[in-house]
Amino acid sequence: MDDWEMWDKREETRLSPRERLALLEIEAHLRQDRGFARRMEGGAHREQGDRAHRGVWLPVGVLLLAVASAFCAVMGIRTSDPGLLWCFAVLWPFTLFQSFRLLCRAARRRGHPGERLTSWL
C-alpha cells in the first residue's frame, strides 16, 4: 500500500490523477527548497531533546580541533618536528572552516541579514 492509498483511506477523499500529479509537483518543489526544509526540521516528528543534543557537537568539535591545532603548532615549533608541523597544517583549515560554521549558526539564530549568504552551510 503506497502513501496515496494510506492518505486516501485516512481522509476518505479520492483525488483525481491530475490532482495527485499537481500535489506531487508541489511537494517536489518544497523538497528542493533547502530553507523550507531547514525550518521544517523542528516539526512534530523530531523531539526537542534530539535537536538540542545534535546542536552540541559542532561547538565540541571546534573546541577539540582548536586544542589539537594549538598543541601541534606549539609542539611542532618547540621540537622542530616536521610531522607535527604537517599535522598542524592539515588541522588548521578544518578548524577555521568549522569555526566559521559555528559563527554562522550563531548569527542565524540572532536573525542577522547574512543568513542568505551562508544558507549552504
Q: Higher model confidence: residue 38 or residue 49?
A: 38
72 CB-contact burial (10 Å; exposed 0-12 / middle 13-18 / buried 19+): buried
Q: pTM of the prediction?
A: 0.51
Summarised one tens digit per residue, pLDDT across range 41-68 is: 765 455 555 556 667 888 999 999 999 9
- CA quadruple 18, 1, 43, 108: dihedral sign: negative
Output the pLDDT for position 72.
95
Cα angle 4-9-12, degrees, rounded to a multiple of 5: 110
State pLDDT tens for residues 77-94: 999 999 999 999 999 999
φ, ψ (nearest 5 deg) of residue 67: -65, -45
What are the counts of helices (DSSP H) followed by strands (DSSP E) for the chain?
A: 6, 0
